[in-house]
Amino acid sequence: MKTLKDLGDLRGKKVLVRADFNVPLKATEITDDGRIRAALPTLQELRTQGAKVIVMAHLGRPKGKVVPELSLAPVAKRLGELLGCDVTLAEDTYGEDAQAKVAAMNDGDVVLLQNVRFNPEETSKDEAERSEYAKKIAALADVFVSDGFGVVHRAQGSDYDVAKVLPSAAGKLIEKEVKALSRATENPERPFTVVLGGSKVSDKLGVIENLLSKADRLIIGGGMVFTFLKAKGYEVGTSLLEEDQLETVQGYIKTAQERGVELVLPTDIVVNPGFPSDDTPVAPEVVPADAIPADKMGLDIGPESGKLFHDKIVDSKTVVWNGPMGVFEVKEFQAGTKAVAQGLVDATKAGAFTIVGGGDSASAVRHLGFKDEDFSHISTGGGASLEFLEGKTLPGLEVLQ
C-alpha cells in the first residue's frame, strides 16, 4: 500500500484528503471529536510539507440532499481549533465556491469541502455515475490521500473512485489502522482474546466465523448474548433475540468446542422490566444467566460476569473488542462495559496489545471517562474494522495497492 512518503515533495501541491469526520452532534455541538483528532497527524504532516490541504468528509446520512443540520461547519470550527489555523469551509463539494476557495489557497492553508453526501452520486451504485462525479472533485487537486478508515469498506465516490483518478496514497491514520488490525489478525501474540458485544449477533456473524479459527478465547456480551443463551436452552425473557440465528449460533458453540476455543458467556445478567423510557422505570435486578424471568429484559452483564470478563481479558497478550456489554448510556447498565474497558486498560499496562474496534465501543470508552492512550489502538471505523476482522477485501484499501 502506498503511503505519504511515496508521493514525493508536496510543497505547493494541492492535496485532496478524504477524512472521516462523521462525528456525533447534539444540535450543532460535537460531543466526541475523536475522529477529527485522528486525522491530525496526516493534516499536520501535509501542512508542514507546504501543501495546500483540501479536506473532504461526510456527516450523517443526508441521502444526496442538502440538509443544513448536517453541514460540516461545526467540524471546520473544531478542526481549526485543533490545527491552530483557519479552516475555510466551502459551500459545496466541487462547484463554484469550492473552486474559488481552492484557487485562493496559499501553501499550508486548509479548505474543508462541504458534506460529500449532499451529492447523490457519492453513494451511487452506478460506477459510471460515481466516476464522473469523482473526476469533478479530483479536478481540484494534484494528488489524493485516503485517510478516512471508516469509509474504506465501501466503494464510494470521494474515496474509491477519486483514488482511481489521481496519484494516491494512504494517510497516517489508515496506515496505523491497517498495521494495528493486521497485528491482531495475522500473527497475534497469544493468548488472543476477542470480545464481542453490541445488539445483534447477525452483525458479527462474519467476525465470529473468521476468528473462530484464529482466537484462543471468545467472550460474548451485549444484546447479542441472548441468542447464545437461548441456543443453550436458557430462558431469555423479553431480551433482544434473533430467533433466525439460533441454529447458526449453536453451530458456533459446537465449532468452538471442537477447535478448543474458550467460549466465555456471562454467568449473571442485569435485567429490567423493559427498555428504560418514560413509561418503563429503571429498576435493575441481577439474576443468574440461566434464570432470566420471562417478563424481564436483560440490559447488561452482571457484576460476577464483569469480573470474569475482566480477568479473562487481563490473562491475554492480544485483545480485540467490538461492541458494548449493555446499554452503557444509562448509568445503571454501564458496569459491564466499564469492566471490559478496564480489563483492556489493565491488559495494556501488563504489556498486551489491545484494540477497541471503533463505533459504539469507541464512544463507550470515552463516555465512561477512559483516555485514548489507555489502549494500544482505538479504531475509527466501526463497520470497516469489523469487515477487516472478517477477512474481507476493503475496496478503499485495495485501490491503494
78 has binding-site annotation: no
One of 18, 35, 78, 136 is an active-site residue; which one?
35
Q: Catalytic: which of 336, 359, 382, 396?
A: 359
37, 164, 200, 317: the catalytic one is 200
Does 203 belong to an annotated binding site? no
Give Rg (Cα) of the chain.
22
22 is in an annotated binding site: yes
User: Does 32 appear as a known binding residue?
Assistant: no
Residue 20 among known ligand-binding residues: yes
- Is 47 annotated as catalytic? no
* CA–CA distance, 386 with 108 (Å, rounded to integer): 35
Q: Is 117 annotated as a binding residue?
A: yes
H or E segment and range at residue 255: helix 246-259
In 3D, which of 272, 293, 294, 275 has the Cα closest to residue 283?
272
Q: Is 190 annotated as belonging to a binding site?
A: no
263 labelled ligand-binding: no
Are 357 and 379 contacting, i.e. CB atoms less than 8 angstroms apart? yes
Asked if residue 59 belongs to a known ligand binding site, the reply is: yes
To the query of whether residue 200 is one of the catalytic residues in this protein, the response is yes
For residue 183, give the amino acid letter. R
d(CA 18, CA 158): 7
Residues 6+ apart with CB under 8 A from 394: 152, 153, 384, 387, 388
Any binding-site annotation on 279? no
Q: Tell whether residue 58 is among the known ligand binding residues.
A: yes
Whether 150 sits among the annotated catalytic residues: the reply is no
108 catalytic, yes or no?
Answer: no
- Taking every pair of Cα atoms in the chain, the longest distance, rounded to a whole number of angstroms, is 68
Contact (Cβ atoms closer than 8 angstroms) between residue 37 and residue 94: no
Q: Tell me: is residue 11 an annotated ligand-binding position.
A: no
Three-state DSSP at 30 gives strand
Catalytic residue among 50, 64, 251, 383: 383
Residue 214 CA to residue 187 CA, distance in Å, equals 9
204 known member of a binding site: yes
* C-alpha span between 316 and 348 (Å, rounded): 10
**Pairing outcome for strands 25-26 and 217-220:** unpaired
State the amino acid at position 210 in one-letter form: N
Q: Tell whether omega for the bond before 191 is within 30 degrees of 0, i.e. cis.
A: yes
Which cell goes with 331?
A: 448509568
* Rounded (5°) CA angle 353-173-158: 140
Which residues does the annotation place in the binding site? 20-22, 35, 58-61, 117, 154, 204, 298, 329, 358-361
Which residues does the annotation place in the binding site for ATP? 204, 298, 329, 358-361
Residues with a known catalytic role: 35, 200, 359, 383
Which residues does the annotation place in the binding site for substrate? 20-22, 35, 58-61, 117, 154
Which residues does the annotation place in the binding site for (2R)-3-phosphoglycerate? 35, 117, 154
